[in-house]
Amino acid sequence: MRVDQERVARMTAFKHYRAHVGSRADKFYKDTLFQGEHVMVGLNCLEPGQVQPVHDHAEQDKCYVVMEGSGRFTVGDEIREAGPGEVVWAQAGVPHGVENVGSERLVVLVCIAPPGKG
């Protein structure tokens, strides 16, 4: 019975992003909400001052959706601050990264397609 309940809990198609928020002292925090063959949906949480260095994925498209806080995003030649509701797009091969230059936690939902090394 316990196993069945755990199985059902694992299989739900519904997850609130807030249940996946977390922090690490040494680097920004990542969690995975869902992963299929074609896309991974995860959460990145950056405390003030934390950085995701600019990098690129040659074969993966990525989007960020800012859920809380704000960050200074770099995508190609664009550098902009983005807050809640902003969607940031890094097409395959385009360098991208983000820095939390604010005073509160930055929480971004990320989709990476196809899934692979983040």
Residues that bind its own copies (CB under 8 A): 12-18, 33-34, 36-39, 41, 59-61, 63, 65, 67, 73, 75-76, 78, 80, 82, 85-92, 94, 96, 109, 111, 113-114
Least CB distance to its own copies at residue 28 (A)? 19
| Residue 22 or 89 having the CB closest to its own copies | 89
Q: Could you give the CA distance from residue 81 to residue 102 in angstroms, rounded to a whole number?
A: 10
Task: Give the count of alpha carbons within 13 A of 86, CB side only.
Answer: 15
Q: Nearer Cβ to its own copies, position 75 or 106?
A: 75
- Cβ at position 85, least distance to its own copies in Å: 5
Closest approach of its own copies to the CB of residue 25, in Å? 26
Tokens encoding 87: 């969607």
In terms of Cα–Cα distance, which of 39, 23, 10, 57 is closest to 110?
39
CB under 8 Å to 34, separation ≥6 — which residues? Answer: 15, 40, 41
CB of 98 to its own copies, least distance (A): 12
Report which DSSP code applies to 9. Answer: H
